[in-house]
Chains A and B, each alone.
Chain A
Amino acid sequence: MMATAIRNSASRGTMMSRQISGLRSMSSWWKNVEPAPKDPILGVTEAFLADPSPDKVNVGVGAYRDDNGKPVVLECVREAERRIAGTSFMEYLPMGGSVKMVDETLKLAYRDNSEFIKDKRIAAVQSLSGTGACRLFADFQKRFRPDSQIYIPVPTWSNHHNIWRDAQVTQKTYHYYHPETKGLDFSGLMDDVKNAPEGSFFLLHACAHNPTGVDPTEEQWREISQLFKAKNHFAFFDMAYQGFASGDPARDAKSIRIFLEDGHHIGISQSYAKNMGLYGQRVGCLSVLCEDEKQAVTVKSQLQQLARPMYSNPPLHGAQIVSTILGDPALKGLWLKEVKVMADRIIGMRTALRESLEKLGSPLSWEHVTKQIGMFCYSGMTPEQVDRLTSEYHIYMTRNGRISMAGVTTGNVGYLANAIHEVTKSS
């Protein structure tokens, strides 16, 4: 019956559209839609995949690879999946996500026996990995502190700018990377913190700064924290690499622990994309430390209110993997081992790359390669040099000179060093 209706209507439709065509030719509503620029990071992988060269190397996107250049699924994850498969229902999670997963995640950031957890002072929701956590916070900031701005380090992960822009929060920047030393511009940073209006919101990378790999020292973090106190600034930590930076999750959370000790009420975005290799599962957590339990409940309700019209409730699978692993001491122990293996491999590749470049007789200093930490190395190469690496050597990376060390292997480090040497030796 419906088919007949469709047929009849189709012929009517053609008649109608011919009648309408006087008003508006069969042109599109979408004439004014321009093609969007390629995402600078994800676009690199697209280009890499399209390249037929057998020598091609992808040191673009920050996804871990083993020494054979292959993606890795952690053993603890496989085991968790075996346990989960076919066992549970797929009913909607609450808007705030998996309680079990959030509880375990807070322990990682705030410490197992944190008083803040005990006192229920943390408003926390499961989020769509780090991106989703940052976006929820940005929307929350916009809704409840509409006049506030966010101070973002220069440089930062490019998507940070997209997130706060789409949340319509005004952005300011603060000095961070020192191009001459290829290290931290600490005095520039402190000046900017001091000069920002009291009560400003700052985005901080908790560890393994993306894209530079440059982190403040512990002593520097303490100074930053003290200055934040004096200025009553709000610290929002993006922690995407806990465990992945040094191999030790407690150590990687040091900056956060310092701020907590100093009494700051902070916000944290956590992601399991890298440290548990759950990239595509989109698992993370947004937490906001509040004054008391009552406020935490209130803030959580508002975070949920923001999530509901974005995706209703977060995806289950990744959260189940996380809570299965972290909830089982043996599996958790295995995870910690595997995270250390990944971190160690990267540290090893940093050394290898630096030594290769030095052996090639590069006129430049490559000390920063081993001083920097985490997945990324800010090489100091210019966009033009990067373009040469791509066009002449089929090496793919982002044009800011960021090398994803996770993509470096014993098999390609020599080739990579040679190419870098070739494009930089005359600079």
Chain B
Amino acid sequence: MASSMLSLGSTSLLPREINKDKLKLGPSGSNPFLRTKSLSRVTMSVSVKPSRFEGITMAPPDPILGVSEAFKADTNELKLNLGVGAYRTEELQPYVLNVVKKAENLMLERGDNKEYLPIEGLAAFNKATAELLFGAGHPVIKEQKVATIQGLSGTGSLRLAAALIERYFPGAKVLISAPTWGNHKNIFNDAKVPWSEYRYYDPKTIGLDFEGMIEDIKEAPEGSFILLHGCAHNPTGIDPTPEQWVKIADVVQEKNHIPFFDVAYQGFASGSLDEDAASVRLFAERGMEFFVAQSYSKNLGLYAERIGAINVVCSSADAATRVKSQLKRIARPMYSNPPVHGARIVANVVGDATMFGEWKAEMEMMAGRIKTVRQRLYDSLVSKDKSGKDWSFILKQIGMFSFTGLNKAQSDNMTNKWHVYMTKDGRISLAGLSMAKCEYLADAIIDSCHNVS
């Protein structure tokens, strides 16, 4: 490779002036200078040191972003983007909650300053987020047993916890569901925490492989971390029933495992904040120590503001204090302190009774739209499909996503023939579906399911 350092300041050297002894060898050991075809092209090279970034290859495209890019490039009128994990209105537009606009205007009027937050984030936010999760009067909060710090949405909060696990539980494994959100693996990989999978999705029933899940959790070495989706499992939309949650709690306790909840959809799944926190609260009732990562990307539509939290429920206030201090120590060399804007929005919304009520209403509306669209899709499928296939799994799933049961070839058919963009694992985002498009989607699914193998 030609020189990585052009010296524009010094006189340019003609080939005959270059002392070959001074040339550095390329990575293969051969003299790159001798490889050049035309000497005259090398006049600019002073020294032929290879780039220090020589061996760096292109990172693979993100499996989800790639979908949106392909969608954008498609010129067909009928195209439908069901890859996006972001809420859309019936008109398929992004949605900024009214209560968020209100909060922002309030903040503007107040003229809040932009000083650094403390490493652990905005105190008002931390208080609000823990209360939202556990319920305001909950013993773990009253007794100060929860270490809460503001994190960079769900991702950042998960990453902080992963780093804590790596530091204090060296060698401990995290069990993640098969399948799970794609970035979970990246997070644990980069944090150098080993992971393995527990059975979750059953393609035969397009439902939960509960026996497999329990078996795998039982099999795991004592004291493993079990990553659980609090509600609205991503990507399948399949959640355990309340009775199943009880059994999961039993086996987790039996094996001394540490539960690790990812709660990205509180309020967004059923429409009720409390109902969606039921699984977490169940575990809290048991007196277990566990982690919970939260995100406000979807339920407050604050995607880009990166607002979330990591909560560590400990058995004592003293442990919580120590754990919080160590979480801060992990955050400091990552980003020093978290961004203020999203935190203030959440704190304002939750802290004002009127706005909180408005938020709940808007959330119910969003969750409601998704439920309605699910129903319409189901109805379309049932009325159009003459094969007698049971489509009820669509109604049993919950949240933004639905696992259609389509395999890769069938998903490709959805895209190539029908211009329906989705991820290759068969996941569709109902948040990107409008009532108007349900019939078309049903046609596409039926075709892909029955005519492609």
Query: Interface of A with B (CB < 8 Å)?
Result: 1-3, 5-6, 8-10, 12-14, 16-17, 20, 23-24, 26-36, 39, 42, 46, 61, 63, 71-73, 77-78, 81-82, 85-86, 88-95, 128-129, 131-132, 135, 144-145, 159, 162-163, 165-167, 199, 229, 232, 234, 261-265, 273, 277-282, 288, 290-291, 295, 297-299, 301-302, 304-306, 308-318
Closest residue of B by beta carbon distance from A138: B333
Asked if B243 is at the interface (CB within 8 A of a chain A CB), the reply is yes
Complex-state Cα separation, A395 to B151, whole angstroms = 32
Closest residue of B by beta carbon distance from A278: B114
Verify B323–A311 contact, CB threshold 8 A.
no
Asked if B78 is at the interface (CB within 8 A of a chain A CB), the reply is no
Q: Out of B53, B245, B302, B326, name the residue touching A144 (CB < 8 Å).
A: B53
Q: Which of B126-134, B204-212, B247-255, B347-355 contacts A (4 or more CB under 8 A)?
A: B247-255
Q: Among the interface residues B101, B315, B335, B337, which one has the most CB atoms of the partner chain A within 10 A?
A: B335
Known: A311-B335, A318-B341. 14 other contacts (CB 8 A): A5-B278, A13-B249, A20-B253, A35-B325, A46-B118, A61-B116, A71-B115, A91-B303, A91-B304, A280-B337, A280-B339, A309-B186, A309-B189, A313-B306
List A contacts of B304 (CB < 8 A): 90-93, 313, 315-316
Q: Out of A13, A27, A39, name the residue touching B119 (CB < 8 Å).
A: A39
Q: Which 9 A-B pairs have the closest CB atoms?
A: A316-B304, A280-B340, A311-B152, A162-B333, A128-B335, A13-B286, A309-B186, A317-B341, A301-B59
Verify A315–B62 contact, CB threshold 8 A.
no
Verify B159–A310 contact, CB threshold 8 A.
yes
Complex-state Cα separation, A292 to B242, whole angstroms = 57
Q: Out of B243, B322, B339, name the residue touching A34 (CB < 8 Å).
A: B322
Complex-state Cα separation, A316 to B115, whole angstroms = 17
Asked if B301 is at the interface (CB within 8 A of a chain A CB), the reply is yes
Complex-state Cα separation, A88 to B341, whole angstroms = 15
List A contacts of B100 (CB < 8 A): 90
List B contacts of A297 (CB < 8 A): 58
Number of A-B contacts (CB under 8 A): 289
Instruction: Output the least CB separation between A160 and chain B (Å).
Output: 9
Q: Out of B49, B246, B301, B332, name the residue touching A39 (CB < 8 Å).
A: B332
Complex-state Cα separation, A36 to B168, whole angstroms = 13
Asked if B214 is at the interface (CB within 8 A of a chain A CB), the reply is no
Verify B105–A280 contact, CB threshold 8 A.
no
Complex-state Cα separation, A92 to B51, whole angstroms = 34
List B contacts of A308 (CB < 8 A): 62, 155, 183, 186
Complex-state Cα separation, A166 to B190, whole angstroms = 12
9 chain-A/chain-B pairs, Cβ below 8 angstroms: A6-B285, A30-B314, A90-B96, A129-B335, A232-B49, A262-B7, A265-B5, A281-B341, A301-B58
Instruction: Output the least CB separation between A57 and chain B (Å).
Output: 17
List A contacts of B253 (CB < 8 A): 13, 16-17, 20
Complex-state Cα separation, A36 to B324, whole angstroms = 9
Verify B4–A265 contact, CB threshold 8 A.
yes
Interface size on B, residues (CB 8 A): 97
Complex-state Cα separation, A88 to B93, whole angstroms = 12
Asked if B104 is at the interface (CB within 8 A of a chain A CB), the reply is yes
CB interface residues, B 410-433, toward A, < 8 Å: none
Asked if B52 is at the interface (CB within 8 A of a chain A CB), the reply is yes
Verify B114–A277 contact, CB threshold 8 A.
yes
0/1 interface trace, chain B 207-246, chain A, CB 8 Å (1 if under)? 0000000000000000100000000000000000011011
Verify B55–A144 contact, CB threshold 8 A.
yes
Q: Among the interface residues B104, B321, B333, which one has the most CB atoms of the partner chain A within 10 A?
A: B333
Asked if B319 is at the interface (CB within 8 A of a chain A CB), the reply is yes
Known pairs A1-B242, A5-B243; A166 contacts B330 (CB<8 A): yes
Instruction: Output the least CB separation between B67 and chain A (Å).
Output: 13
Closest residue of A by beta carbon distance from B154: A312
List A contacts of B256 (CB < 8 A): 20, 23-24
Instruction: Output the least CB separation between B299 and chain A (Å).
Output: 13
Verify A36–B108 contact, CB threshold 8 A.
no
Q: Out of A86, A95, A301, name the residue touching B105 (CB < 8 Å).
A: A86
Complex-state Cα separation, A28 to B5, whole angstroms = 57
Query: Interface of B with A (CB < 8 Å)?
Result: 1, 4-9, 49, 51-53, 55-59, 62, 65, 86, 94-96, 100-101, 104-105, 108, 111, 113-119, 152-153, 155-156, 159, 168-169, 183, 186-187, 189-191, 223, 242-243, 245-246, 249-250, 253-254, 256, 258, 275, 278, 281-282, 285-287, 289, 297, 301-306, 314-316, 319, 321-323, 325-326, 328-330, 332-342
Complex-state Cα separation, A72 to B333, whole angstroms = 26
Complex-state Cα separation, A277 to B105, whole angstroms = 20
List B contacts of A232 (CB < 8 A): 5, 49
Complex-state Cα separation, A95 to B59, whole angstroms = 13
Closest residue of B by beta carbon distance from A229: B5
Closest residue of B by beta carbon distance from A133: B335
Instruction: Output the least CB separation between A51 and chain B (Å).
Output: 16
Known pairs A34-B322, A135-B334, A313-B304; A318 contacts B254 (CB<8 A): no
List B contacts of A77 (CB < 8 A): 114
Closest residue of B by beta carbon distance from A90: B304
Instruction: Output the least CB separation between A71 and chain B (Å).
Output: 4
Verify A42–B111 contact, CB threshold 8 A.
no
Q: Among the interface residues B6, B57, B113, B256, which one has the most CB atoms of the partner chain A within 10 A?
A: B113
Verify A295–B53 contact, CB threshold 8 A.
yes
Instruction: Output the least CB separation between A126 and chain B (Å).
Output: 11
Complex-state Cα separation, A159 to B336, whole angstroms = 8
Closest residue of B by beta carbon distance from A288: B53
Complex-state Cα separation, A310 to B282, whole angstroms = 29
List B contacts of A263 (CB < 8 A): 5-9
Verify A312–B5 contact, CB threshold 8 A.
no
Complex-state Cα separation, A263 to B329, whole angstroms = 38
Complex-state Cα separation, A24 to B255, whole angstroms = 11
